[in-house]
């Protein structure tokens, strides 16, 4: 009976370690994605600041607003298409 309890404990620890590693890797990937996005936004803002008379603060503001507008427009466009297709599917059913 002790052998079975030992195997259950080992299996539980191994599964727990795998879950913990997956969780940590997920957070590391999210942090990496955030760093890459920050580098992208900063690079675009620096280019905009260098090629115009805008300060870096205004350039980063413009870049973030433009990115948000682009993202919102994309979601708006595809969201309306998906809703239209869902309505068509419901009509066919």
Q: Report domain extents, the chain.
A: 2-92
Do 41 and 63 touch, CB atoms closer than 8 A? yes
Q: Say what the pLDDT of residue 86 is.
A: 87
CA distance 21 to 38: 25
| Token pair recorded at residue 22 | 């997956």
Residue by residue, pLDDT tens for the chain (93 residues) are: 788 889 999 999 999 999 999 999 999 999 999 999 999 999 999 999 999 999 999 999 999 999 999 999 988 888 888 888 888 999 998
pLDDT value at position 10? Answer: 94
Per-residue b or e along 44-55, where b marks 16 or more CB atoms closer than 10 Å to that residue's CB: bbeebbeeeeee
């Amino acid at each position: 009976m002790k052998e079975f309890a030992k195997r259950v404990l080992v299996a539980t620890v191994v599964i727990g370690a795998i879950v913990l590693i997956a969780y940590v890797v997920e957070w590391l990937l999210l942090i990496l994605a955030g760093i890459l996005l920050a580098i992208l936004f900063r690079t675009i803002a620096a280019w905009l600041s260098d090629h115009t008379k805008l300060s870096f603060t205004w350039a980063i503001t413009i870049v973030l607003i433009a990115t948000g507008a682009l993202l919102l427009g994309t979601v708006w466009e595809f969201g309306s298409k998906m809703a239209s297709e869902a309505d068509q599917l419901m009509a066919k059913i």
